[in-house]
């Protein structure tokens, strides 16, 4: 690792340990949605009023419910009908995840492009996670989608730091070193600060540990396999790993040598999930 990357890593690690690093806060609409979700008596009308305050998020939810993955035989154009179709929990998880896109914006073009790249990868992994969850587990697809959307959330404060330290932004190799080393730790810390539930909170910190072998299949396994699948056909180092030795595949009941894209139904489902989230 370069001297610059080493220096930045030490500074950021020290700031994390001393609680001196300013962590990002959830967008206001996501906070309101989560508050509504915690009320066991929340109505569809009440939730639609919360989401309805954000026109962009409302449009995204309606787009999701009309996607090939979820749509019924008639188009839904009304937010209340969309929530009724998806269910309150599903809607809340989806709205929370999608609202985070607002956070992936920067004041400089270089950082903004990097943030857009991170968000696009997160939506791709979230889409694959949704499909893997539905086809290979009994876990909840909305939770798997949320896990995919937040698995790289720890990159945000690193890019904010880089935006304020031009020398790091100018050295992409050092920046990527720092991101790879620190974003899992930061991501878990952020999700715990946001009071995310344990099964999702642990995802950023553990999804890149390819020796991990939990007793039962969980959202970390799903995001891990989805991440690996997302790099197929590239030169990314993950494609050089021996996937047959990665426990997550066995727990999902997947043969690592079988490509999901070769299954027409799964490939179509992944395309539909991708267009649903982007």
CATH number of the structural domain spanning residue 218: 1.10.3210.10
pLDDT, tens only, 169-196: 888 888 888 899 899 999 999 999 899 9
88 in a domain, yes or no? no
Least Cα distance to 149 among 28, 262, 276 occurs for 276
Extract the tokens encoding 125. 């992994």
Task: Flag residues of the chain having pLDDT under 50.
Answer: 1
Q: Are 90 and 269 in contact (CB under 8 A)?
A: no
pTM, full prediction: 0.92
Residue 40 within a domain: no
Indicate whether 75 belongs to any domain: no
192 and 201 Cβ atoms separated by less than 8 Å: yes
Residue 262 lies in a domain: yes
* Cβ contacts of 204-209, under 8 Å, gap ≥ 24: 204/150, 204/151, 204/152, 204/153, 204/154, 207/151, 208/184
pLDDT tens readout for residues 69-97: 877 778 999 999 999 999 999 999 999 99
In a domain, 78, yes or no: no
Instruction: Report yes or no on 258 lying in a domain.
Output: yes
Query: What is the predicted pLDDT for the residue at 2?
Result: 62
Range of the domain at 214: 3-20+104-277
User: Is residue 96 domain-resident?
Assistant: no
Q: What is the pLDDT of residue 32?
A: 95
Q: Flag whether 69 is in a domain.
A: no
Number of structural domains (the chain) is: 1
For 130, left (φ over 0), alpha (ψ -120 to 50), or beta?
Answer: alpha
Find where tokens 């790249």 sit: 117
């Amino acid at each position: 690792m370069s001297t610059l990357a080493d220096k930045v890593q030490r500074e950021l690690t020290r700031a994390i340990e001393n609680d001196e690093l300013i962590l990002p806060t959830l967008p206001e609409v996501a906070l309101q949605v989560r508050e509504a979700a915690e009320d066991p008596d929340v109505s569809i009308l009440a939730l639609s009023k919360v989401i309805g305050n954000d026109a962009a998020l409302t449009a995204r939810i309606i787009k999701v419910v009309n996607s090939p993955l979820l749509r019924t035989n008639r188009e839904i154009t009304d937010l209340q009908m969309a929530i009724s179709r998806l269910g309150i929990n599903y809607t809340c998880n989806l709205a929370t995840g999608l609202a985070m896109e607002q956070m992936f914006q920067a004041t400089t073009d270089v950082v903004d492009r990097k943030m857009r790249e991170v968000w696009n990868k997160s939506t791709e992994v979230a889409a694959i996670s949704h499909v893997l969850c539905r086809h290979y587990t009994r876990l909840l697809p909305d939770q798997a989608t949320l896990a995919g959307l937040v698995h790289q959330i720890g990159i945000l404060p690193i890019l904010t730091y880089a935006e304020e330290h031009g020398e790091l932004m100018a050295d992409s190799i050092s920046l990527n070193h720092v991101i790879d080393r620190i974003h899992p730790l930061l991501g878990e810390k952020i999700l715990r600060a946001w009071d995310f539930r344990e099964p999702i909170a642990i995802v950023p910190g553990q999804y890149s540990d390819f020796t991990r072998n939990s007793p039962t299949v969980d959202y970390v396994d799903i995001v891990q396999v989805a991440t690996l699948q997302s790099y197929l056909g590239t030169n990314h180092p993950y494609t050089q790993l021996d996937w047959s030795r990665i426990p997550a595949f066995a727990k999902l009941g997947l043969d690592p040598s079988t490509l999901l894209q070769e299954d027409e139904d799964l490939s179509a489902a992944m395309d539909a999930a991708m267009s649903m989230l982007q």
